[in-house]
Amino acid sequence: MDISVVIPLYNEAESLPELTAWIERVMDENGFSYEIWFIDDGSTDKSWSIIEELQKKNARIRGVSFARNYGKSPALNVGFMRAQGDVVITMDADMQDSPDEIPALYRMITEEGNDLVSGWKRKRYDPLSKTIPTKLFNATARRVSGIHNLHDFNCGLKAYRRDVVKHIEVYGDMHRYIPYLAKNAGYTKIAEKEVHHRPRKYGKTKFGLDRFVNGYLDLGVLWFQNRFGIKPMHLFGLLGSAMVVIGFIATLVVLILKIVSLCSEGYNFYVTNSVYFYLALACMVMGLQFFLTGFVGELITRNSPERNNYLIGNEI
């Protein structure tokens, strides 16, 4: 099978028939063999019954319906587990992404040998309150992830080699960083294609401004996992050592001042009045905590089934 289209959706009933007809038309015009996976993320409108209707007319349409709303990432994950096509294409259900992009995306994977191609909505039809923070967000994501050629990490329209989606685990809200997940899994041929974006035709957006706070926190988590995920002591040990060194120097200062004050007549030094005493106390306690966190982290890592997963490029 050439293509699996994976579409996560939450209350998008109005768009579904139109979107499906459009995808079918593009697939037929280009002679692709395909399947469409609708992952209904606990919709409370008529989305699921519409998917059932569509499936009766076209057996290449498949669907999964969650018992409740889990989020876009879990929906994508379930779609990725089921997808069979050589190329997997994800798109949003709200018709902001155009199925006309599918043939070019497909070729960028099969002919140009990319692992992942991400859409870039160069001209966006979203409110300013979303486009400006998005620019900042993408600039940070580029820096932290080291994927410098992507303008739009979170574009819903993306294409993958099947292998890629089988080796990444999208969870929580990590759909914003799939290129980073792919890169960390060893898939480094990541390209971008400018795509047409359209205003939302039906329904309303499912994400509020909290997306930016959560987005940054998740980026921190991925950065940490990538840098120190299997060697947490390298971070916590460094911080712990720094604290202990500062604490030790402060203790020495306290000791020396006390000895000096005991030996001299006019100079009175009270340990508990000294800023160095509190510095020594705080640094020693924090240093110990960093070390303990590092040790516990190492024990957890030791039990992680993924600690020895490497993507082998070549072998002779």
Residue type at 208? G
86/126 with CB nearer ligand UDP = 126
Residue type at 309? N
* Strands 158-161, 3-9: pairing kind: unpaired
35/247 with CB nearer ligand UDP = 35
Residue with tokens 């290129």, as numbered in its chain: 179
Q: Of these partners, Mg ion, ligand UDP, none, which one is at the site of residue 24 (CB under 5 to 8 Å by kind)?
A: none
Structure tokens at 75: 């929906």
Which positions ≥6 away from 166 have C-beta within 8 Å? Answer: 80, 81
Burial class (CB in 10 A: 0-12, 13-18, 19+), 289: middle
* Minimum distance from residue 296 beta carbon to Mg ion (Å): 41
Q: Choose the binding region for Mg ion from 62-70, 84-92, 133-141, 278-286 (rule: CB under 5 A).
A: 84-92
33/205 with CB nearer ligand UDP = 205
Burial class (CB in 10 A: 0-12, 13-18, 19+), 310: exposed
137/277 with CB nearer ligand UDP = 137
77/96 with CB nearer Mg ion = 96
Q: Choose the binding region for Mg ion from 2-10, 49-57, 60-68, 86-94 (rule: CB under 5 A).
A: 86-94
* Minimum distance from residue 274 beta carbon to ligand UDP (Å): 55
* Minimum distance from residue 305 beta carbon to Mg ion (Å): 35
- The residues binding ligand UDP (CB under 6 A) are 8-10, 12, 41, 69, 71-72, 75, 92-94, 96, 156, 205-207
Q: Of these partners, ligand UDP, Mg ion, none, which one is at the site of residue 75 (CB under 5 to 8 Å by kind)?
A: ligand UDP
Q: Is residue 24 at the binding interface for Mg ion, with CB under 5 A as the rule?
A: no
Q: Of these partners, ligand UDP, Mg ion, none, which one is at the site of residue 90 (CB under 5 to 8 Å by kind)?
A: none
55/69 with CB nearer ligand UDP = 69
Going 69 to 70 to 73 to 79, the CA torsion angle's sign is negative
Structure tokens at 100: 């006309």
> Are 44 and 65 contacting, i.e. CB atoms less than 8 angstroms apart?
no
CA distances from 132 to 124, 141, 212 (A): 11, 14, 11
Residue type at 26? V
Restricting to residues 93-112, which ones interact with Mg ion according to CB under 5 A? 94, 96
* Minimum distance from residue 276 beta carbon to ligand UDP (Å): 53
Structure tokens at 48: 């699921």
Q: Tell me the C-alpha distance between 82 and 203, whole Å.
A: 27
Q: Which residues bind Mg ion (CB under 5 A)?
A: 92, 94, 96
